[in-house]
Structure 1
Amino acid sequence: MRRLESWIFALALLVAAACVGFFTSRYAVRADWSTGGRASIAAESQAVLDRLPGPVEVVSYASPSGELRANIGAFMERYQRAKRDLTLRFVDPEKDPAAMRELGISNDGAMIIHYKNRVQRLDDSLTERSMSNALERLARGGERIVGFVTGDGERLPGGKANADLGTFMTQFEARGLRSVPLNFGQVQAVPEHTDLVVLASPSAPLSPAAVQALVDYVGNGGNLLWLAEPGDLDLGVKPLADALGVRLLPGVLVDGQGASLNLTDPRQIVQVSYPPHPITHGFTLTTLFPQAAGLAKVSGTDWTVAAFLRTGEQSWTAFHGIANDQPSTIRYDAAAGELRGPLDFGFAQTRLSPSPEKNEQRVVVVGDGDFLANTFVGNGGNRALGERIFDWLLGDDALVALPPRGAPDRVLELTQARLDVLTLVFLVGLPVFLAAMGGFIAWRRRRR
Structure 2
Amino acid sequence: MKISKKTHLEIRLQNLVFILLFLIATGLIGWLSTQYTARFDWTYGQQHTLSDTSRKVLDLIEGKVRILAFVRESNELRKPIRDVIERYNVYRPVMEVEFVNPDTNPDRVRELQIRVDGEAVVEYQGRSEKLSELDETALTSALQRLEAPEKRRMVFLQGHGERSPEGREAHDYKQFVDEVSKKGISSGVVNLALAGKIPEETDVLVIAGPKGSILPGELRQIEAFVQKGGSLLWLLDSGDLRGLGALSNLFGFDVLPGIIVDASTQVLGIDDPTFALVVDYPPQLITQGLQQMTMFPTATALRNKGEGNFEKEPLLVTLDRSWTELGPIKDKVSFEKEKGETHGPLDLGYAMTRPTSAEPLK
TM range (shorter): 0.5 to 0.7
Provide TM-score, normalisation by structure 2.
0.63
Q: CA RMSD in A?
A: 3.5
Q: Deviations over 1:182-227 (max 9, x none)?
A: 2111223322221111111111111111211111111111111111
Q: 281, 290, 295: which is aligned to 2:297?
A: 290
Q: How does 1:47-446 map to 2 (within 5 A)?
A: 55-57=57-59, 58-60=61-63, 81=84, 84=87, 88=92, 130-131=123-124, 133-134=126-127, 138=146, 141-233=149-241, 235-281=242-288, 283-322=290-329, 326=330, 328-353=331-356, 358-362=358-362
Q: Deviations over 1:13-56 (max 9, x none)?
A: xxxxxxxxxxxx989xxxxxxxxxxxxxxxxxxxxxxxx99622
Q: Which amino acid in structure 2 is aligned with residue 331 of structure 1?
A: S
Q: Which amino acid in structure 1 is aligned with residue 326 of structure 2?
A: F
Shift of residue 228, structure 1, vs aligned partner: 1.1
Note if contact 1:275-1:310 (Cα within 8 Å) is conserved in structure 2: no
Over 3 Å counting, the alpha-carbon distance change for 1:312 and 1:60 in structure 2 is: closer
Q: Distance in 2 between matches of 1:82 and 1:213?
A: 50
Shift of residue 231, structure 1, vs aligned partner: 2.2
Over 3 Å counting, the alpha-carbon distance change for 1:78 and 1:344 in structure 2 is: same
Over 3 Å counting, the alpha-carbon distance change for 1:276 and 1:134 in structure 2 is: closer
Q: Which piece of structure 1 moves more, 257-266 or 268-277? A: 268-277
Gaps of 5+ in 2: 1-39, 43-53, 70-79, 95-120, 130-144
Note if contact 1:55-1:85 (Cα within 8 Å) is conserved in structure 2: no
Over 3 Å counting, the alpha-carbon distance change for 1:203 and 1:330 in structure 2 is: farther
Give the percent of matched residue pairs that are identical in Structure 1 and Structure 2: 29
Shift of residue 173, structure 1, vs aligned partner: 1.6
Q: Distance in 2 between matches of 1:166 and 1:177?
A: 13
Shift of residue 316, structure 1, vs aligned partner: 0.7
Note if contact 2:261-2:275 (Cα within 8 Å) is conserved in structure 1: yes
Note if contact 1:198-1:224 (Cα within 8 Å) is conserved in structure 2: yes
Note if contact 1:197-1:223 (Cα within 8 Å) is conserved in structure 2: yes
Between 1 and 2, higher relative CO (CA 8 Å, sep ≥ 6) is seen in 1
Q: Distance in 1 between matches of 2:184 and 2:318?
A: 33
Note if contact 2:276-2:322 (Cα within 8 Å) is conserved in structure 1: no
Q: Which amino acid in structure 1 is aligned with residue 286 of structure 2?
A: I
Over 3 Å counting, the alpha-carbon distance change for 1:158 and 1:83 in structure 2 is: farther
Note if contact 2:66-2:124 (Cα within 8 Å) is conserved in structure 1: no
Q: Deviations over 1:86-109 (max 9, x none)?
A: 75368xxxxxxxxxxxxxxxxxxx
Q: Deviations over 1:329-388 (max 9, x none)?
A: 4332323211111111111111113xx6x41111xxxxxxxxxxxxxxxxxxxxxxxxxx
Stretches of 4+ aligned residues off by more than 4 angstroms: 72-80, 82-87
1:55 partner SS: helix
Over 3 Å counting, the alpha-carbon distance change for 1:82 and 1:215 in structure 2 is: farther
Gaps of 5+ in 1: 1-24, 28-51, 62-71, 91-127, 363-448
Provide TM-score, normalisation by structure 1.
0.52
Note if contact 1:248-1:296 (Cα within 8 Å) is conserved in structure 2: yes
Shift of residue 81, structure 1, vs aligned partner: 2.7
Over 3 Å counting, the alpha-carbon distance change for 1:139 and 1:167 in structure 2 is: same
Over 3 Å counting, the alpha-carbon distance change for 1:88 and 1:287 in structure 2 is: farther
Over 3 Å counting, the alpha-carbon distance change for 1:157 and 1:73 in structure 2 is: closer
Shift of residue 289, structure 1, vs aligned partner: 1.4
Shift of residue 82, structure 1, vs aligned partner: 5.0
Name whichever structure is richer in helix by fraction. Answer: 1
Aligned length: 261
Q: Distance in 2 between matches of 1:74 and 1:212?
A: 47
Q: Distance in 2 between matches of 1:79 and 1:207?
A: 59
Q: Distance in 2 between matches of 1:140 and 1:222?
A: 23
Q: Deviations over 1:252-272 (max 9, x none)?
A: 111111112222112111211
Q: Deviations over 1:130-182 (max 9, x none)?
A: 52743656367343100111110111111122311112222332331211002
Q: Distance in 1 between matches of 2:82 and 2:236?
A: 41
1:361 partner SS: coil
